[in-house]
Structure 1
Amino acid sequence: MYEKEPRTPEVEPPPSTTSKDGTPSDQHDMSRMGKSQQLRRNFHFIPIFGFAAVLMITWEATLSSASYVLPNGGLPALIWTYVFSLFGFGAAILSMAEMASMRVGENGQYHWVSEFAPAGVQKVLSYVVGWFCVLSWQAGIAGQSFSVGLQIQGLITLNSPTYIPQPWHSTLLAIAAASIGCIFNTFFARKLPLIEATMLVLHITGFFAILVTLWVMADIAPSSEVWSGLQNNAGWPTAGLAFVVGITSSVNSLIGPDSAVHMSEEVRDASRTLPMAMLWTLITNGIAGLVMVITFAYCLGPLDEALKPPYFFAFIGTFYTATGSHAGATVMSCIITLLTLCSAITNVATGSRQMFAFARDNGLPFSRFLSYFRYDIPLNATFVSFIIAALLSLINLGSGVAFNAMLSIGIVSLLSSYLVSISCVLWMRIRKQPLLPRRWSLGRWGAPLNVIGLAYLFIAWLFAFFPLGASPTVETMNWAAAVYGGVVVVACVYFALFARRTYIAPVARVKKEL
């Protein structure tokens, strides 16, 4: 269908290159983008692999998001939606890994769109995608921080039955988690690679600690109950529709593979290291998530209790039922909570770099302020990311509905950026236009994987707007559609009034360099 894709020759990094400049390949990539090296390249393969794996926390997320899928299909949906997502999202991750090798830069998706989209829409399309990326990662910081707060509340409820959870408790805990993320990304910024490698060790050891405990101590459900017989406890017209709505849970487990891309200017030999880190994150996190979701389905315990978890998350009750011990359940749950906090720290790093990159291209209001860097980090963008997370958390005090809408828009926005960027590279393949040189290629599997990834992403994007139950009330309605539409309108109006004159699409710099 298309010509054989070209490859660039291998470039081996000589020992004389500095940690800030990176390898000759890194220097060439920065020069090709028309930008100077500002951040220090202190991430090698293991730290950036740990960065992506810990941000996604796939096996942990299969536990924390189980409460959302169980009403929509029951135990079989818990497993089969994950299997479906693993293959579909896996194709999308591989597609993005190839694009990361084509064009290396913290810009990520909006840079890819800027280069791969048809010439007539490159600027405006990349601009809107840039807004989606910034919004999604800022919402991600607030979302993970809020998850930490809710999990801590669940643990307090487990150990103190007289405790009455209040919204302001979870809000303060979320702000505390976001502040920890900010501290780690400022005062300990140069130690971040070591911190990420340490988090990776906890991510792996925690998996085996919980897995073995559940299989040894929990009561095992019959296989017929686990693998077949979809249930519909959310009131949808059919169990099949309930199953598809429940796919949102698996999306939460696998979303965020582009996080490593937004750190690319801090990665040595990025055009090779990044796609390999994304590939191995898919393999290790994907398999670990599959093993854990099957284990959890067998060891869940009474489904009625899991559908209305008294501790906010079904996994806390499952751990208590399995061990019969408050202390045992607390220790197991603390592993999940600690790793969720690690993910929040990594989210701050990703979100601040994405904001910094887009501001550097004059894509945001106050771009000069947001693109300021010092001490080898985007200092202002890091602090602003914390402030945004804190302000979003305060919304929970007035309206939990509004706060959940802001969090759900993060998933929809990120899926939108994936959809547009992969569509652009597939469009080039269909038109048989020469793709950019890359050191990591999908070869003949490129187009099929693009198609599979796009098909899955569209389904996930569509049902991410659905509420988690039929006949929703104001409190249970998914308001992501309203927020999503509002963001698109605001971005387009700001572009028409201001950014069309000030925004510098990445492709403009590249063309000048070439």
Structure 2
Amino acid sequence: MGWQCAIVSIAYLAGTIIQGLIVLNHPEYGMERWHGTLLVIAITLFSIIFNTFLAKRLPFVEVLILILHVCGLFAIIIPLWVLGPRRSAKQVFTEFNNGGEWNSAGTATLVGFSTTITALIGYDCAVHMSEEIKDASETLPKAMITSVIVNAASGFVMLVTVCFTLGDIDDILATPTGYPFMQVFYNATESLPGTNTMTAILVLTLTASTITEVNPGWNIPLNAVMVSLAVTVLLSLINIGSTTALLAVVTLTIGAMMSSYIITIACVLLRRIRGQPLPPHKWSLGRFGMAINIGALCFLLPVFVFAFFPLTSTVEPDTMNWCVVMYGGILIIAVVYYALRGRHHYIPPVALVKREM
């Protein structure tokens, strides 16, 4: 559920950011929701084509995206450092904006995690390539941890940079583009080409995130790819009728991912507490494993709960976070399916591996 919604979320962000660029460059443009839906479908179709016909080019493209990811960070923060307005350290680190009118800054911060936590999820996607990597049990954990460290460090630099160069908060929140970061870029550079270039870096990296690792040729799960295309297109149509409903799907990505992480880590922690041996492995967290598992759950559990909160304390039908309804409905369907059919027909991958051996 998390990864299926993630495709929609990423494509929706990329598509609506493109819409925001159009508004910035052509103020007379009338932004329509169905325009955004068509952009979402276009980005998804590009990803599907890449996952089928152009799969052989994926390693080359991955190298280009890595270069863009690293160089793009400096291409964005350097213009902000040089040209952007300056806020004081006191403003950046001590002032809080409780725009949702919650009863405390702490609650507002926890609710705000639902929009920022996306930078810390999705690293498990590397596991999807486990069958294509040598020594996957050792290589993948190292790759995941390295990714978290590198991206957390670069993300922190970006966050601090943006906070110091925000300028007037009310001004950027009122931007007609729909994305305050785009207004921050424009206010700093006062240049449409400069803003377009900086924003294009984000659009390209987002679009690249919708492309999944597959084997060359047609040796791919084509049925699953086509189902993902169909689901993404159908979910994107929701935007035509209600942006609020589609944003609930975007938030559902976070809730679904968090719950899968919680279940996985809790199962490992339970075995540690009971003194039961973990499956054979080449890499582990060592003697800090239990402490890290407990710390991870202490962080994930409140984030999971607050992912279902609306962004404002005063809730109307058009400001309600409806992802809790979607999450509950899908969970009920999944449990019923498992009880009636799934548990009688599912063959785990380990059983297949043992059979081949």
Q: List aligned pairs for 1:144-159, cutoff 5 A.
A: 144-159=10-25
TM-score using structure 2 length: 0.95
User: Does 2:254 match 1:411?
Assistant: yes
Which amino acid in the other structure matches residue 505 of structure 1? P
User: Does 2:345 match 1:479?
Assistant: no
Shift of 1:396: 1.0
Partner of 1:433: 276
User: Does 2:125 match 1:259?
Assistant: yes
Partner of 1:212: 78
Partner of 2:65: 199
Partner of 1:308: 174
Q: Distance in 2 between matches of 1:405 and 1:489?
A: 18
Shift of 1:400: 2.0
Q: Distance in 2 between matches of 1:441 and 1:254?
A: 21
Shift of 1:506: 4.1
Q: Distance in 1 between matches of 2:300 and 2:318?
A: 27
Q: Distance in 1 between matches of 2:225 and 2:331?
A: 24
Q: Distance in 1 between matches of 2:6 and 2:51?
A: 16
- Give the stretch that moved more between structures: 405-414 or 319-328: 405-414
SS, match of residue 256 in structure 2: helix
SS, match of residue 185 in structure 1: helix
SS, match of residue 466 in structure 1: coil
Q: Is the 8 A contact 2:15 2:40 kept in 1?
A: yes
Shift of 1:386: 1.4
Q: Is the 8 A contact 1:189 1:377 kept in 2?
A: no
Q: Is the 8 A contact 2:114 2:254 kept in 1?
A: no
Shift of 1:233: 1.8
Which amino acid in the other structure matches residue 298 of structure 1? F
Shift of 1:405: 1.9
Which amino acid in the other structure matches residue 278 of structure 2? L
Q: Is the 8 A contact 2:53 2:217 kept in 1?
A: no
Which amino acid in the other structure matches residue 286 of structure 2? G
2:41 aligned to which of 160, 166, 175: 175
Unaligned ranges ≥5, structure 2:
none
Unaligned ranges ≥5, structure 1:
1-134, 354-372
SS, match of residue 302 in structure 2: helix
Which amino acid in the other structure matches residue 496 of structure 1? A
Partner of 1:283: 149
Q: Is the 8 A contact 2:72 2:201 kept in 1?
A: yes
User: Does 2:307 match 1:464?
Assistant: yes
Shift of 1:513: 7.5
Q: Is the 8 A contact 1:144 1:343 kept in 2?
A: yes
Which amino acid in the other structure matches residue 276 of structure 1? K
Aligned-residue CA RMSD in angstroms? 1.8
Partner of 2:94: 228
Q: Distance in 2 between matches of 1:512 and 1:383?
A: 29
Shift of 1:185: 0.8
Which amino acid in the other structure matches residue 463 of structure 1? F
Aligned positions, number: 357
Which amino acid in the other structure matches residue 186 of structure 2? Y
Partner of 1:505: 348
Deviations 1:307-337 (A, max 9, x none): 3332111111001100111121111111111
- Give the stretch that moved more between structures: 487-496 or 290-299: 487-496
The sequence identity of aligned pairs, in percent, is 44
Deviations 1:328-377 (A, max 9, x none): 111111111111111122xxx26x99xxxxxxxxxxxxxxxxxxx97221
2:227 aligned to which of 384, 388, 410: 384
Q: Is the 8 A contact 1:245 1:463 kept in 2?
A: yes
TM-score using structure 1 length: 0.67
Q: Distance in 1 between matches of 2:149 and 2:69?
A: 14
Q: Distance in 2 between matches of 1:289 and 1:438?
A: 31
